[in-house]
Structure 1
Amino acid sequence: MSMPVELDGLFRTNTTYDYDDNYEYKDDLDARGSKTVLIPLLYYVELVIGLLGNGLLLAVLAQKRRSWSISDTFVIHLCVADVLLLATLPFWAAQATQHCEWCFSGFLCKICGAVFNINFYCGILLLGCICLDRYLSIVHVNRLYSQNKHRLVHVSCLLVWILSLILTIPDWIFAIATKESEKTLCAHKYPQSATDWQLVSRLLHHMVGFLMPTAALVMCCSCVLLRLQSSTKGIQKQRFSAVILPLVAVFFLCWMPYNITLIVDTIRSSSKEPNDRNPEGSLKTALMVTSGLGCAHACLRPLLYLALCLNFRKQTLAVLKCATLKPATSLWELGVSEEVPSDQSHEGKEMGEMMSVDQAQSTQCA
């Protein structure tokens, strides 16, 4: 007796299951876990080193407050911008952790977003002022800042802060605490009626805040180096090559990856490529990592001063030992209004020799 076997029901079921939407791969979980550990760790390391370094810098400047030079004015403005950025790092570290979100107020989100960009704008524009002064004094023998024009440096720093605040207007408007992927995050949220604002703010950041200052800095540094190569100004060459160039190079090494990633994000958001599976997720991770690297310059700048500037190193050691040391004329050797004309230096040398002779004669008479 033969029993018929029907296999139609076995092959009729033709349902498919989408594993991509409901399954999290182990590699993705490991990557997400490492990201939520390494990025907060990076922020806290930068916070500790930055507060210690900038605290020592402010302590040294406090001892020299009665005789601040123009270089001191630029350095203290850079220091204030760095301290403001460091104060926001705990909030970004808390948001980057795996089980936490932006659990602070919306106004604090606007402040943190604006301070991040203010620090970048102030850093590149103040370095531009220093390099422009070196360019004019070495290449064109015309000083932009001098002790007789001390008010001009304050006006320049004030204009830098005002311009930085203007460029961060989109951050004050569109940086809000919004819910994304079941978590509240501090991010820029542009409404449908203001989509052009995102493109305008990004173009301002790329052109006014990055590309144009970068081109100006590269041009000034190149012209100064070419001029110093064919001149006998050994002290100016040593100062520029040993102090100013490392400051500019470290700033761009820290901020260049973030700005390049931001440019890629701007291009992708404007083109809206449909074939990319998850362009926003990968770019958000890249922006998070590179922004953490950009914040590193706030703790590296005091270390550069300590390594490159001998007078600052002496003053720092004196502060740590609670000793009294006469403040030097130039702590930073940036060359901003620190050179003395050759005729005045010659007269000063002769005057010093005459005074030493008079002192020797007076001791012999005594």
Structure 2
Amino acid sequence: MTLIWGAQYILAVILIWSKMYKTCVAQEDRNTTEYDYLLQNASFDWSDIPELCSKAANRQFREWFLPTFYAIICFLGFTGNLLVILTFFYFKRLKTMTDVYLLNLSFADLLFVFTLPFWGFNSNSKWGLGLPVCKIMHTVYKVTFYSSMFLLSCISVDRYFAISKAISAHKHRSQAVFYSKISSALVWVLALIFSIPEMTYTTINNNTCTPYTSNNDKLRVSLQTGQIILGFLVPLVIMSFCYSSIISTLSQTRGFERNKAIKVILAVVAVFLGCQMPYNIVLFWTTIVAAKGGTTVCSDDNSQMYAIDITQCVAFFRCCLNPIVYAFLGVKFRHDVLKLLKEVGCLSQDKFFKYTVTKRKTSLAYDTETTTTSFSP
């Protein structure tokens, strides 16, 4: 009897589980059929889901472009500016305001050149040098950038008074060097003050040393706007006024030296605009985009990165050209450089006379401080 009741109990359990299984399978089939129906007949809008922007091509471009240009700029900038500094100290040429400004300009450019290896490391590798080195790199760049721009403005103002206001400038000639040292110190102080935001907000973001976090558009707009105004527009206005007045004054004179002086001025303006304007145009473009909340188009984002990398390298190249257009174009300075090379054994006596005697006939106007060609020392 017990076996019969046990068999009936087991059979009842089996029937109940069988019925429950059929019910679950039927429900699952119904859910699957409904899901397939939704997939087949319903359209899903994928436009609201953001698509990751590929930076592979930009990274490959950076791997060869930035190190190549940084190496060229580092070599030429170090050689040219160091030669200017050695010439100034060896011959004790700090006799005019422009001499003092040129010496400070070479120090600024040389100091910036020392940061280029860190820029190259930051562009191709994960930043592993810590936050203090990151802040120092960006701060030194900003200090040397602002000081260079302000010193170029000071040189143009000095040349304006030396040529366009020669009489009044001659009255203060004895105090000119003192004034230039004070103004140079003021330039460095202002450059340091304007670089405070760089010291404050520079950080390490995604293993990269950056002057601000990538999602802080308001800060980016403020920093870039300040750089455009203080580092480009203000020097451009000062240099445009001074050099246009100088050219106007030179146009009233005659002679071959006048044409040479105008060519020097045009070379100075061309170097400034050629190096700084492309980068500032791109900087203005990216500032406008950031002010509008950024871009969601991958191609536009990559185009900005290409434009910034290329134009920034061109702007960095200015530190290599400053010794040429501001120092080596001057006959007296070029003569001192050749003399220095001769004395250290890099130039023979015959070549020294070959390069100096042939130019001596046309160097008279360069030797005076207030003549038409006194643009270069």
Q: Is TM (by shorter chain) over 0.5?
A: yes
Q: Distance in 1 between matches of 2:277 and 2:337?
A: 31
Aligned residue in 1 for 2:138: 113
1:189-225: per-residue Cα shift (whole Å, max 9, x none)? 2598x86444333332222222122122112211221
1:63-78 counterparts in 2 under 5 A?
A: 63-65=90-92, 68-78=95-105
1:153 partnered with 2:180: yes
Determine if contact 2:143/2:191 at 8 Å carries over to the other structure.
yes
Cα root mean square deviation, aligned: 3.8
SS in 1 for 2:205: strand
Determine if contact 2:88/2:94 at 8 Å carries over to the other structure.
no
How many angstroms does 1:120 deviate by?
2.4
Q: Distance in 1 between matches of 2:106 and 2:364?
A: 16
The total of aligned residue pairs comes to: 319
Aligned residue in 1 for 2:20: none
Determine if contact 1:240/1:334 at 8 Å carries over to the other structure.
no
1:271 partnered with 2:292: yes
Structure 2: tracts of 5 or more residues without a match: 1-35, 346-351, 353-362, 372-377
Determine if contact 2:331/2:366 at 8 Å carries over to the other structure.
no
1:92 partnered with 2:119: yes
Determine if contact 1:122/1:160 at 8 Å carries over to the other structure.
yes
Determine if contact 2:53/2:298 at 8 Å carries over to the other structure.
no
Match of 1:314 among 335, 343, 358: 335
Identity of aligned residues (%): 26
1:122 partnered with 2:177: no
Describe the shift of the 1:220–1:69 C-alpha distance in structure 2 as closer, same or farther (beyond 3 A): closer
Aligned residue in 1 for 2:246: 224
How many angstroms does 1:15 deviate by?
9.7
How many angstroms does 1:108 deviate by?
1.6
Q: Distance in 2 between matches of 1:333 and 1:40?
A: 44
* Bigger radius of gyration: 2
Determine if contact 2:162/2:370 at 8 Å carries over to the other structure.
no
SS in 2 for 1:272: coil
How many angstroms does 1:257 deviate by?
1.4
Structure 1: tracts of 5 or more residues without a match: 1-8, 326-331, 341-366
Determine if contact 1:113/1:171 at 8 Å carries over to the other structure.
yes
Q: Distance in 2 between matches of 1:256 and 1:227?
A: 27
Determine if contact 1:138/1:227 at 8 Å carries over to the other structure.
yes
Q: Distance in 2 between matches of 1:31 and 1:103?
A: 22
Q: Distance in 2 between matches of 1:336 and 1:109?
A: 45
Amino acid across the alignment from 1:319:
L
1:231-262: per-residue Cα shift (whole Å, max 9, x none)? 34875x35642434423321231121111111
Aligned residue in 1 for 2:24: none
Describe the shift of the 1:81–1:105 C-alpha distance in structure 2 as closer, same or farther (beyond 3 A): same
Amino acid across the alignment from 2:332:
N
Aligned residue in 2 for 1:143: 169
SS in 2 for 1:321: helix
How many angstroms does 1:78 deviate by?
0.3
Amino acid across the alignment from 1:187:
T
Q: Distance in 2 between matches of 1:178 and 1:47?
A: 26
Aligned residue in 2 for 1:296: 317
Q: Distance in 1 between matches of 2:254 and 2:179?
A: 30
Aligned residue in 1 for 2:10: none
1:340-355 counterparts in 2 under 5 A?
A: none
How many angstroms does 1:63 deviate by?
1.1
Aligned residue in 1 for 2:233: 211
Determine if contact 1:243/1:334 at 8 Å carries over to the other structure.
no
Determine if contact 1:78/1:122 at 8 Å carries over to the other structure.
yes
* TM-score, with structure 2 as normaliser: 0.72
1:82 partnered with 2:109: yes
Q: Distance in 1 between matches of 2:96 and 2:364?
A: 11
SS in 2 for 1:177: strand
1:243-282: per-residue Cα shift (whole Å, max 9, x none)? 3442332123112111111111111101125553454443
Determine if contact 2:275/2:314 at 8 Å carries over to the other structure.
yes
Describe the shift of the 1:232–1:83 C-alpha distance in structure 2 as closer, same or farther (beyond 3 A): same
How many angstroms does 1:177 deviate by?
1.6
Match of 1:241 among 262, 280, 285: 262
Match of 2:212 among 177, 184, 189: 189
* TM-score, with structure 1 as normaliser: 0.74
